[in-house]
Structure formats: structure tokens, C-alpha cells
Amino acid sequence: MVKFIIRELEAEHLPGALKLVREGYEEEKKMVPFLPAYKELEESLQIKLKALADEGKGFVALRDGEVTGFLAGYPMDQLFGSCRGVYVPLFGQGAQKENRQEIYRELYTCAAEKWVEEGKYSHALTFFAQDRETIDTWFWLGFGLRCVDAIRKTEPLEATASGLEVKKGNFADLPMLASLDQKHSRYYRNSPVFMLKSCENPLQDLKEWLKRENHHLWYALQEGTPVGYLQVEPTGETFISHHPAVMNITGAFVADKTRGRGVGLALLAQAQNWLKEEGYPLCGVDFESINIAGSKFWNRYFTPYTFSLVRRIDERVGREKENA
Ligand SMILES: CC(C)(COP(=O)(O)OP(=O)(O)OC[C@H]1O[C@@H](n2cnc3c(N)ncnc32)[C@H](O)[C@@H]1OP(=O)(O)O)[C@@H](O)C(=O)NCCC(=O)NCCS
């Protein structure tokens, strides 16, 4: 068995860590070739990785002084519930291809020991979706899929829903969309999603959202009644979604009784046309894998490039360790 030394992540390890992120990205890009070029992301990645290393606690796997793997996450007061946890973003982990499984196993064993001692029982990590060896490694470590980032080239889509009018929304349209927005937030509480989203003041939330720079929405009317909407903005959940070539769908909802009749596709098609006209070549989206309707819809039109995996530790064992 190959032996690695696990140490705390220090500033001197960051170039080695960044190299691993780059290698992971290049591997993913072979499978999803239309992802932006790595060099266009590197500068912002350097800044993000440094900030993460400063804020969170990370670990490196060293072999002959070389960084062969690393793991660093943000401490979270609440993560998928009221318990504390750690979130490791896409740029917060990496491992060389050779012995990747072993490197991740050793890193997680060490990091999780520390996290649990600190009372952080909810662990979430984002990985490249096409790296099946890594996904499988973490599946065997007790993790399950929760969120997906996906991307597509901005291309026209054929939408043929009859009796439907799709419009680009402005502030005057928001009052008639507020009730749909509230239903959207409540939707996530249902099985099997069970996710809490604030829904107290939908009109105010929509206004605040639309006020932000380069935020856009489209809505669909059937016989004058709004039946769905779709939101687009410049940033999503990953560093890739922040690239200027990418615009991101950050919300979409079609009224329960109107689903499955092409309203979602009609909204997506209008957004694609607009993105094309405005010169955005890529369109991203993130969604909960546990949202069955959303997963089915996005997987039809987009290619996943990240999977976020989660694990919840038994807090009884954690407390024993904290009190030891
Ligand atoms: C995701 C969502 C917006 C899709 O909207 P929609 O209007 O149902 O989408 P469409 O009707 O275009 O497509 C849905 C399905 O209906 C099918 N369909 C579309 N038009 C059809 C028609 N005229 N006749 C029969 N089937 C049709 C599509 O092929 C698609 O099939 P699939 O489920 O096998 O992929 C909607 O399901 C929704 O609001 N879900 C709850 C909220 C949510 O998940 N939002 C996404 C957040 S990430």
C-alpha cells in the first residue's frame, strides 16, 4: 500500500492544490468539451482557493513532499438542517489520478475526525460529475447525491405548446407572479425533497431579485393566467457558473396542473433565444437530484458537470468524542 503523510493545508501547498483542481477540470472538460477553457478560470480560482484555505481548515496528502491530494471546506453553522457541518466546494478538493481512491479515503478519515470532534456532523462535498471513480469512492464512504450543476450550449429549442404566450417579465408583471413564486418555495417541502425555502414575502423577494444586475425572468400565460416562470442570472453555484460566457437558470416553476404540457420547455426555449441574441454561449442550471420533476426536466436538456454529495454523521458518536 502506498503511504501518504496527511498534514494541515498551508499556504505553501496551494500551488500543488491548484494543480490538482486544474487536472480534475481538464479531465471533466474531456467529457464535457464545451466547458470554458481552464486558463480563463484560473485567476479567480487562485483567489477563491486562498480565501478558502484562510477561512476553513484543510488537509493535504503529501508524498515525497508533493501534494497528491487535498480537502478543504467552509465551516457551516447549519447545513441541510439545524446541525453544524462542513461544505467542500468544487475547488476545495482534488487528488492525483494515480491512487485517487486511497488518497481521498485517507484525507476524509483525517478531516472527518477533526470535523466530528468540532461537532460538525453534516458533510457535503462537490465533485466533477463525470469522474465516476471519485463519485464511487465517496459513495462507499457513506455519501449520497443531493445537488447537480449542469450546463448546455445556448441553442434554439423547438417548443410547440399551443395557446401559450411567453413574455419577458418586468417589475409591473411581478404582482401576478407572486402566488406562483410562493407555490414554488412551498413545493420543496414536499416528499421526497423536504427542503426549507422562505416563502413569507414572495412579491418583495421577486422585486429584490429582479433589481439585481443582469437578472431576467420569463413567464408563461395561458388564457391570460400565469402558469409558469423561469429566472436567469449571471452566477450560479460553482466557479464555472461565474464565467462571463455562462448565464444561469436559478429558478423555474410551472403550476402543478399545467405540468407535462410543454410550458417548461416553452420558457426554456425563450430564454435560449434571448441568451443567443445577447451573446451568451453557455447556459447553466443547478438542481436538487432529489427533486424528481426538476431532475427529469434538466437532465433532458443539460449535461451534469458536478455532483454534490452529502453525509450525516450519527451525533451520538460525535458527542461521545466531543466529551472524551
Ligand atoms: C421542472 C418543471 C419546471 C418542468 O415544467 P413542465 O411544464 O412540466 O415541463 P414540460 O412540460 O416542458 O416537460 C415535462 C415533461 O412533459 C413532456 N411533455 C411536454 N410537452 C408535452 C405534451 N404536449 N404532451 C405530452 N407530454 C409533454 C416532456 O417531454 C417532459 O417529459 P419528461 O418528464 O419525460 O422529461 C416543472 O416540472 C416544475 O415546475 N416542477 C416543480 C418545480 C421545479 O422542479 N423546478 C425546477 C427547479 S430546479
pLDDT digits (tens, 9 = 90+) for 41-53: 999 999 999 999 9
The mean pLDDT value for 188-196 works out to 96
Q: Could you tell me what percent of the chain has a pLDDT over 70?
A: 99
Q: How far is residue 216's CA from residue 209's CA, in Å, rounded to a whole number? A: 9
Q: What pairs with residue 86 in β-bridges?
A: 75, 123
pLDDT bracket for residue 293 (50, 70, 90): very high
The mean pLDDT value for 194-209 works out to 93
- CATH number 3.40.630.30 given to 155-280: yes
Query: Is 70 exceeded by the pLDDT of residue 1?
Result: no
| Cα 252 to ligand 1 centroid, rounded to whole Å | 10
Instruction: Please provide the CATH number assigned to the domain covering 5-150+308-323.
Output: 3.40.630.30
Residue of the CA atom closest to atom 3 of ligand 1: 253
Q: Is 262 in the pocket of ligand 1 (CB under 6 A)?
A: yes
Q: Is 99 in the pocket of ligand 1 (CB under 6 A)?
A: no
Q: What are the tens digits of pLDDT across the range 249-265?
A: 999 999 999 999 999 99
Please give the single-letter amino acid code of residue 167.
Answer: K
| Cα 266 to ligand 1 centroid, rounded to whole Å | 10
The mean pLDDT value for 59-82 works out to 96
| Cα 299 to ligand 1 centroid, rounded to whole Å | 11
| Cα 81 to ligand 1 centroid, rounded to whole Å | 29
| Cα 256 to ligand 1 centroid, rounded to whole Å | 10
**Domain boundaries for CATH 3.40.630.30 within the chain:** 5-150+308-323, 155-280
Q: Which pLDDT belongs to residue 117?
A: 93
- Nearest Cα residue to 126 out of 153, 89, 75: 89
Q: Is 164 in the pocket of ligand 1 (CB under 6 A)?
A: no
Burial class of 305 by CB neighbour count within 10 A (0 to 12, 13 to 18, 19+) = buried
Q: What are the tens digits of pLDDT across the range 123-155?
A: 999 999 999 999 999 999 999 999 999 999 999
Q: Is 291 in the pocket of ligand 1 (CB under 6 A)?
A: yes
Q: Which pLDDT belongs to residue 322?
A: 74
